Structure 1
Amino acid sequence: MNLANRVAVVTGAGGGIGRATALALARRGCHLALADIDAAAVAAVAEEARRLGVRASHHHLDVADRGAVRAFPAQVDAAHGRVDLLVNNAGVALGGTFEQVHEDDFDWLMEINFHAVVRMTRAFLPRLRASDEARVVNVSSIYGIISPPGQSAYAASKFAVRGFSNALRHELEGSTVGVSVVHPGGVATAIAKNARVPKDAPQEDIARGRAIAQRLLRMAPHEAGETIVRGIEGRRARILVGSDAKIVSVLERLSPVHYWTLLKRATGR
């Protein structure tokens, strides 16, 4: 897929993987409509993109706001006149076992990580169908491949993104719209630091969980962004980001039931 002079919508573009993906697209001459709940952060990323020679608009958007999502395509139309690529990247994290996580927190995470992906896709699909070549890119996770304990809510949301993306790809087969699902491994973003945790969870457990997560987040965001955009260029249906995601993907296929036992033995944990 030639990305020069295309227009991409990227959510969660104010930092981390979203920012890195947006700038990797800009380096290829792709114009950008960047959205984030942090208005100042996304404005700064748009300015970085403009310095790379592309047109970039920035939009304050809460992807959990249904009305705001419905109104967003018209804003992109006004700024760019078309859309060829939708990158549903915005997401949040929530630690804790199923019994620890409050129902409201579980629903909060699903609203952002899954329902927003569906709504954004519904909102922009008519514009994407009008393009001669378009793509929906939904960011799942390594936890959309495996399901660790303490991640029941997050894994549920990322498996839902994976299932939705795969079914949508089959439904759009033969059209001008392709679908990619992205499974990042440990990318060094602030997602673990910013994760919600159960209010009554022991502080030592929270600190230990954050420390473990930070050790696993090793890949630089710009590497992740480049990997994702190369996958888009290659029209890949599944984009694995990082060696950890690739290894885990193979292990899960070989042992879909007992992979967690094998991982514990391999790591000594």
Structure 2
Amino acid sequence: MNVSNRVAVVTGAGSGIGRATALALARRCCHLALADIDPAGLKETAWMLSSLRVRVTTHLVDVADRAAVRALPAAVMDAHKRVDLLVNNAGVALGGSFEQVDEDDFDWLMDINFNGVVGMTRAFLPLLRASDEARIVNVSSIYGLVSPPGQAAYSASKFAVRGFSNALRHELDGSTVAVSVVHPGGVATAIAKNARVPRDAPAEEIARGRKLSEKLLRMEPETAGEIIARGIERRQARILVGNDARFVSLLERLSPVNYWRILKKATAR
């Protein structure tokens, strides 16, 4: 897919993978509508794109706010006149076992990580259908391939993104709209640092979890953004970001029930 002079809507564009993907697309001359809940982050991303000859607009949007999501397509069309790519990247993290995580926090995460993807897709699909070649890119996770303990809520949301994306791809088969699902491995973003934790979780348990996350999050976001942009260009249905994601994908296929025993030993080492 040639993204030059196309228009991409990117959520979670104020930092991390969203920002890196926006930059990678802009280097390919793709115009951008950037959405995020963080005004400072959006402003910084737009400044980083200012030297590139692409049209950039910023939109302060919470993807969990259904009214705001429904209003976004009109704002994007007013500025760009078309939409060819939708990158659903916005997401949050929530640590803790199922019994530790309360209902409100579980719902908060699902509203952003999954319902936000569904809402954005529903809002923009009519505009994408008007393009001669369009693509929906939904960012899942390595935890949309495997489900480690302590990640019941997050893994549930990312498996939901994966299942939704796969079914939608089949439904849109034969149309001008294709679907990619992205599974990043350990990318060095602030998602783990900013993750919510159970209110009654012991401080040492929280510290241990954050330390492990920092150890596993090693790939630079810029590298991840380039991998995602190349996957879009190559029309890949599944985009695995990092050797860890490729390894986990293979391991889950070879040992769909007992993979955690192997990963537990590898993590301990």
TM-score range with shorter-chain normalisation?
Answer: over 0.9
Please state if 1:251 is matched with 2:251.
yes
Matches of 2:62 and 2:268 in 1, distance apart? Answer: 41
What is the rounded CA distance, in whole Å, between the counterparts of 1:181 and 1:224 in structure 2?
14
Q: Which amino acid aligns with 1:34?
A: L
Rounded to whole Å, the distance in 2 between the matches of 1:66 and 1:254 is: 40
Task: Give the letter aligned to residue 212 of structure 1.
Answer: L
Provide the rounded CA distance (Å) in 2 between the counterparts of 1:75 and 1:44.
21
Kindly provide the CA deviation profile for residues 116-156 of structure 1, in whole angstroms up to 9, marking residues without a partner as x. 10000000000000000000000000000000000000000
Shift of 1:175: 0.3
In the alignment, is residue 230 of structure 1 matched against residue 213 of structure 2?
A: no
Distance 1:59 1:39 in 2: 9
Partner of 1:106: 106
- Give me the whole-angstrom Cα distance separating, in 2, the residues matched to 1:56 and 1:50: 8
SS at match of 1:175: coil
Equivalence for 1:144: 144
Equivalent residue, structure 1, for 2:154 = 154
Query: What does residue 7 of structure 1 align with?
Result: 7
Q: Which residue matches 2:184?
A: 184
The answer to whether the 8 A contact 1:47-1:56 is kept is no
Counterpart for residue 117 of structure 2: 117
Instruction: Name the counterpart of 1:25.
Output: 25
Question: In the alignment, residue 242 of structure 1 is paired with which amino acid?
Answer: G
Counterpart of 1:71 in structure 2: which amino acid? A
Number of equivalenced pairs: 269
Cα distance in structure 1, aligned partners of 2:158 and 2:15: 20
Question: C-alpha separation between the residues in 1 aligned to 2:257 and 2:81?
Answer: 48
List, as ranges, runs of 4+ consecutive aligned residues in structure 1 with deviation greater than 3 Å.
266-269
- Cα distance, 1:47 vs structure 2: 2.4
Asked if structure 2 preserves the Cα contact closer than 8 Å seen for 1:69 and 1:119, the reply is yes
**Which residue of structure 2 lines up, in the alignment, with residue 88 of structure 1?**
88
Q: 2:10 & 2:262 partners in 1: Cα distance?
A: 37
Match of 2:193 in 1: 193
Q: Contact 1:8–1:31 at 8 Å: present in 2 too?
A: yes
CA drift of 1:265 comes to: 2.7
Structure 2: gaps of 5 or more residues: none
Residue of structure 1 equivalent to 2:61: 61
| Whole-angstrom distance in 2 between the partners of 1:61 and 1:262 | 41
Q: 1:113 Cα shift?
A: 0.1
Which segments of 5 or more consecutive residues in structure 1 lack a partner in the other structure? Answer: none
Structure 1 length-normalised TM: 0.99
Number of the residue aligned with 2:38: 38
Residue identity in the other structure for 1:216 = L
The AA in structure 1 aligned to 2:197 is V
Q: Deviations over 1:221-243 (max 9, x none)?
A: 00000000000000000000000
RMSD: 0.7
Write the letter of the residue equivalent to 2:180: S
- SS of structure 1 residue aligned to 2:180: strand
TM-score, length basis structure 2: 0.99
Q: Distance in 2 between matches of 1:268 and 1:30?
A: 43
C-alpha deviation, 1:27, in angstroms: 0.1
Q: Matched residues in 2 for 1:50 and 1:123: separation?
A: 28
The sequence identity of aligned pairs, in percent, is 76
The equivalent of 1:263 in structure 2 is 263
Give the corresponding residue for 1:128.
128
Q: Is the 8 A contact 1:133 1:176 kept in 2?
A: yes
Alignment-mate amino acid for residue 5 of structure 1: N
Q: How far apart are 1:208 and its partner, in Å?
A: 0.3
SS of the counterpart of 2:44? helix
Aligned-pair CA distance for 1:51: 1.2
CA deviation after TM superposition for structure 1 residue 49, in Å: 1.6
Residue type of the partner of 2:34? L
Question: Cα deviations across residues 156-181 of structure 1 (Å, max 9, x unaligned)?
Answer: 00000000000000000000000000
Deviation at 1:39, TM superposition (A): 1.1
Q: How far apart are 1:268 and its partner, in Å?
A: 3.6
